[in-house]
A and B are shown apart, each in its own frame.
Chain A
Amino acid sequence: ETGVTQTPRHLVMGMTNKKSLKCEQHLGHNAMYWYKQSAKKPLELMFVYSLEERVENNSVPSRFSPECPNSSHLFLHLHTLQPEDSALYLCASSQGSGFLKAFFGQGTRLTVV
């Protein structure tokens, strides 16, 4: 139990669907992150929220839309995705401006058909 919970664990969606990934952290951290892990590629940082404010958006397509309603919850809204968006999406949290010791959730395995 890492204190970071992601739901759902697996998601299959069509290219015209709209779905959301949810992340919840119980660690009292004030920064949360979305990462994408594609097969045999490094983890790619997508978004960073610090104190509920988005501080980083790494050129992610607009079909991915993050939302951070409070410091414990982070969402990733998905719409009109492409098959190449199929990947493992990982949420992480950390305390303070130092990312250095981030705690990751188990990830959502997304398949776009």
Chain B
Amino acid sequence: DQQVKQNSPSLSVQEGRISILNCDYTNSMFDYFLWYKKYPAEGPTFLISISSIKDKNEDGRFTVFLNKSAKHLSLHIVPSQPGDSAVYFCAASRLEYGNKLVFGAGTILRVKS
């Protein structure tokens, strides 16, 4: 049973437009959420996170939104750039289980120039 789901395996966006990557979770006990980005032949790198006490966190072109009632989070990239083309993983954790991140299967983002 997958606790973190990324239902879109891939997404294609034109350069300069907004990319929206979605993630759903089933465990209401999760209280911390992260996005990781992975290029081919590299390990995942941390991108942005959000605590359940917030509903939005922004870092430059990247914004993560959290809707606790819907158990849904999304990552917005504005404006999208070709270098953003990568696999994006959503992950969730419970702070008291600090060592255990549950990952989604990832979404491949392609930004076309």
Contact = CB atoms under 8 A, between A and B. Distances in A.
Q: Of residues B4, B93, B105, which shows the largest number of chain A Cβ atoms within 10 Å of its Cβ?
A: B105
A98 B46 CA distance: 14
Given A100-B34, A100-B98, A43 B103 contact: yes
A27 to B, nearest CB: 13
B44 A106 contact: no
B16 interface: no
A100 B93 CA distance: 8
Contacts of B46: 101-103
Nearest to A91: B43
Contact of B44 (A9, A41, A48, A90): A90
B43 A42 contact: no
A40 B2 CA distance: 13
Q: Of residues A42, A90, A99, which shows the largest number of chain B Cβ atoms within 10 Å of its Cβ?
A: A42
Contacts of A12: none
A83 B107 CA distance: 26
Interface of B: 2, 4, 9, 32, 34, 36, 41-46, 49, 89, 91, 93, 95, 98-106
